Structure 1
Amino acid sequence: MQKILIIAYYWPPAGGPGVQRWLKFVKYLRDFDIEPIVYVPENPNYPINDSSLEAEIPEGIKILKQPIFEPYKLAAIFSKKKTQRISSGIIQKRKKQSFLEKVLLWIRGNLFIPDARKYWVKPSVKFLSDFIEKEDIKTVITTGPPHSIHLIGLGLKRQKSISWITDFRDPWTTIGYHKKLKLTKSSRQKHKELEKLVLSTADKIVVTSNNTKKEFEKLTNKPIQVITNGYDGAVVKTELDKKFSIAHIGSLLTDRNPEVLWKVLGELTKENEAFKEALEVRLVGVVGKEVFASLKQHGLASFVDELGYLAHTEVLELQPKSQILLLLEINSAETRGILPGKLFEYLNAKRPILAIGPEGWEAAEIIKETDSGLGLVSNDESALKNVLLEWFELYQKGELRLNPKGIEKYSRKQLTQQLANFIRWESS
């Protein structure tokens, strides 16, 4: 088999969507005559752990680990909540930031470029240079964010005769939170220079959306392949919730707070007694304080079932039971190309998806293409109310169901075949 080296930060026992993409690729690459070797940190500072994912690591996979210096562990000393991260907690969870949080955010944005895992780059290049030589590895793949992982690939490309593929699970300088990092002009320029250097030096580039591909094509002429996230395995048949359940899976922080949805749901509970009796809003994952405040403001606090973070195995059981699956994105031009990993598991669950996000959102286009639900622009209150009433009437009749089409191309195994073909593909 052809050996490839995959360099990643997120790996089991890390939880969340960032780990699942390459865990699943690794699971299936051997089926396409590629032997993956994985390089990850020995002592990472993962914000969420999900030990259930460790069971999915294929037997016999070689996993290399080296220590990493994590500045976030030091930052936690100053935080009231030890688990809060500068990267997501301060950037997204609060509208009002303390003076200390503002200072930490400035440090995060301007002293840790491209991110706080930058201190893993030099020792990793040194360690992996010898390993690549010894194992005769010809292909190296780096996956980010964190985008400092790509700098490891850059260092190895400069030293070794390898094919280097970069995988961008999210954009770099156009990601929504980038504007909130309190970057100086020179820091902003440094990010852009590093981004262009990585894109122009890599041999091939993988992205998760067409929007990101179009964005990167302006910065490089290297081959770019869109390989989305996906779903894995068949859904276990289960009984639907008795309640008219609207479930959101994953972090729901301040910027994604769907004020218009809470407003409409609040109105419907006042106008429709049957709707009031049946409604349940189920939230799985980290939920921001502002979200709970909005729910309370619109009289929905008593309808909320807050489950917190669940293991991925539990999430897979919950999704097909829900009457409606909720997909949310920040209403911004920069987020049009963001395709949340949960979208594809939602497709596989075969429950109606209610997507609320920016105009031209690529996720909404996929939902329409597959007949999997409805995508609405964030401020379309009238359309939102109409669809909720329509789906509620179908729920009352026991007829709220759909038959999505063409979702097979998003199965993890088919996506891995695309990846294997791209690894072997040689540009003319």
Structure 2
Amino acid sequence: MRLLVISYFSPADKITGGFRAVSFTKYFPEAGIDISLITSNSKIKDDTDMIQKYNLKTVEITRSIRIRNIGYKIKVLALLELLKLDSFLFFPDIFRFWNRRALKKCQKMLDEQKMDAILVTAPPHSSFYFAAKLAKKNNLPLILDYRDPLSGSPYMFFPPIIKQLVRRKEKKIVNEAKILVTVGEECAKLISDTLSLKDRPIQVIYNGYYEEDKLEVSVEKSNKFTISYFGHFYTLRQKGFEALARGIKLLVTKYNLSPEDIALQYAGKTSRKTLQKILDSAGIADYFNDLGLLSNETLFREISKSILNVVLIPPKTTYTLPTKIYDYAYSNSHILLIGEEGEVSKWCKKVDQQYTHAEIEPEKLTETLWKLYSEWKTGSLNYGCDFQKLKTFSRKNLAIHYAEIIKHELGS
């Protein structure tokens, strides 16, 4: 069996969404399914290590859309996104300008190779549109792989008429698809409710983690109550970080704690000006430690040393499960979940991960932090997860399970 896999993003783009498709190229062959991949970033073909690591034997490139790259460089697209006008001008997304070129390349691949099905992973969701055309034209089963919801997303700011059109188009494509897959139980429920799918099954295949990328480090926990956030920091998570900073300020003021007792740490890519404004506004600059950008052993050492590792869930996004959580779970963590409970808390329970939930309110965060601080001081704060249960979320195990579902559904 061979699948045509369509994924705009790849590891060459260095974003989370780029790694899901290559888990298929890497592991599906072990279950008897070969993959032909089409993606957009030409750098992947020049990286021999990446090709070998992800088993990219058959990969085709259709260049990325220049309007997006140029739009970000001259700040126009960023401004449109800020004003919520991008969804009005480019729906379902700006990546639809990739569709025509990609469709032609995909058809050429289908003409030259015998394919048994088409699997398309999104976002960008516009890829669903041309994948559905390809599947219909070539009489092939279509597998829709949602990494995020489309019309059900609370952050898709479509005008009402456009939203109705997008939802109608999405439901039509979904009804034509043979298999529906997404990355979590909450996301499956959101898609089902939005499109009124009733009893239509949606398979859940988590993003998971590459076992070979996780490093085992042996370090002692910090002798200071360190609260750490690792990962990219963007607007949707800013409210949670601001609440955490103000909550720490209330904590150190109420209980007379010094920078020798407690610290807030951050490592990742974000505007340091924005970060500094948050710290200055909260009045905790003296309690903050900027770790910069970390990777490999240094990253895992800092995660392992930290007392609390923070997961920020933006409002209305209970369906999200940040991939950083796998680093946390692998590193003997106690997770502080700030925001609404949902997929993260469900996942923590699946692997017996130690975590504490806190709402995005400084006063309530202060109470939660004091409770955790007191447990830490008395040596009663628990860390870690069940490693055997965690291993079921390795990308290899998940991909092979995914492949078995496909073979069963397609009658192979």
State the distance in 1 between where 2:374 and 2:338 align. 21
| 1:224 and 2:202 matched | yes
Q: Is the 8 A contact 2:23 2:54 kept in 1?
A: no
Deviates most, 111-120 or 57-66: 57-66
Residue in structure 2 matching 1:62, options 47, 51, 58: 58
Cα distance, 1:311 vs. partner?
4.8
* AA aligned opposite 2:70: L
Which of the numbers 340, 344, 354 marks the counterpart of 1:372?
A: 354
Q: Displacement, 1:375?
A: 2.0
Q: Could you tell me how far 1:312 is from its partner in structure 2? A: 6.6
**Could you give the per-residue CA deviations for residues 380-419 of structure 1, whole angstroms, max 9, x where no partner exists?**
833x334423433454466654241332322222211221
Task: Using the TM superposition, give the Cα deviation of residue 147 of structure 1 relative to its aligned residue in structure 2, in angstroms.
Answer: 0.6
Q: State how far apart, in whole Å, the 1-side matches of 2:34 and 2:397 are.
A: 17
Q: Which residue of 1 aligns with 2:217?
A: 237
- Report if aligned partners of 1:320, 1:350 keep a CA contact under 8 Å in 2: yes
- Post-superposition shift, 1:200? 1.4
Match of 1:94 in 2: none
Per-residue CA shift, 1:88-133, capped at 9, x if unaligned?
x864xxxxx6xxxx3xx42x21221111111211222222112123
Amino acid at match of 1:294: I
Alpha-carbon distance in 2 for matches of 1:376, 1:13 = 36
User: How big is the alpha-carbon RMSD for the aligned residues of Structure 1 and Structure 2?
Assistant: 3.0
Residues 229-273 of structure 1 show CA distances to partners (whole Å, capped at 9, x for unaligned) of: 212325412314454322212222233222332222112223445
Q: What SS does structure 1 have at the residue aligned with 2:13? A: coil
Shift of the alpha carbon at 1:165?
Answer: 0.7
Q: Secondary structure at the match of 1:378?
A: coil
| Residues 24-423 of structure 1: pairs in structure 2 closer than 5 A | 24-42=23-41, 54=50, 57-59=53-55, 61-79=57-75, 86=78, 91=81, 102=83, 105-106=84-85, 108-179=86-157, 183-218=158-193, 219=195, 220=197, 222-233=200-211, 234-239=214-219, 240-256=221-237, 257-258=239-240, 259-274=242-257, 276-287=259-270, 290-311=274-295, 315-332=299-316, 335-358=317-340, 360-369=341-350, 370-379=352-361, 381-382=363-364, 384-396=365-377, 400-405=381-386, 406-423=389-406
Offset, 1:274: 5.0
For 1:152 and 1:313, how far apart are their aligned partners in 2? 42
Shift of 1:354: 0.3
| Distance change >3 Å, CA 124–CA 329, structure 1 → 2 | same
1:331: Cα distance to partner?
A: 2.3
Residue-by-residue CA offset, 1:202-244 (whole Å, 9 max, x unaligned): 1111111222222333424644101112123254123144543
Secondary structure (helix, strand or coil) at the match of 2:392 reads helix
Q: Residue 117 and residue 60 in structure 1: after superposition, are their counterparts in 2 closer, same or farther (change >3 A)?
A: closer
Structure 1 distance, partners of 2:261, 2:391, is 33
Q: 1:207 to 1:120 in 2, by over 3 A?
A: same
How much has 1:422 moved relative to structure 2?
1.6
Change (3 A) 1:363 1:317: same
Aligned partners of 1:324 and 1:347: how far apart in 2?
A: 12
The amino acid across from 1:268 in the alignment is L
Q: Equivalent residue of 1:114, what SS?
A: coil
Give the length in aligned residue pairs. Answer: 397
Q: Distance in 2 between matches of 1:193 and 1:70?
A: 29
- Assess, with a 3 A threshold, how the Cα gap between structure 1 residues 271 and 380 changes in structure 2: closer, same or farther: closer
Whether the aligned pair in 2 keeps the contact of 1:350 and 1:372 (CA below 8 Å) is no
TM superposition shift of 1:160: 0.8
Provide the secondary structure at the position in 2 that maps to 1:177: coil
Q: Matched residue of 1:410: which SS?
A: coil
Q: Residues 192 and 70 of structure 1: is their aligned pair in 2 closer, same or farther, counting only changes over 3 Å? A: farther
Give the drift of 1:168.
Answer: 0.7
Q: Identity over the aligned pairs, expressed in percent?
A: 22
Question: What CA distance in whole angstroms lies between the structure 1 residues aligned with 2:99 and 2:144?
Answer: 15
Q: 1:60 to 1:407 in 2, by over 3 A?
A: closer
Q: TM-score, normalised by structure 2?
A: 0.85
Contact 2:215 2:296 in 1 (8 A): no
Q: Call closer, same or farther: CA 1:9–1:414 in 2, change over 3 Å.
A: same
One-letter code aligned to 2:208: G
C-alpha contact 1:230 1:345 (8 A) present in aligned 2 = no
Residue identity in the other structure for 1:61:
K
Q: Which amino acid aligns with 1:78?
A: I
Distance between the aligned counterparts of 1:317 and 1:150, measured in 2? 40
In the TM superposition, what is the alpha-carbon distance from 1:71 to its structure 2 partner? 1.5
What SS class does the counterpart of residue 176 from structure 1 fall into? coil
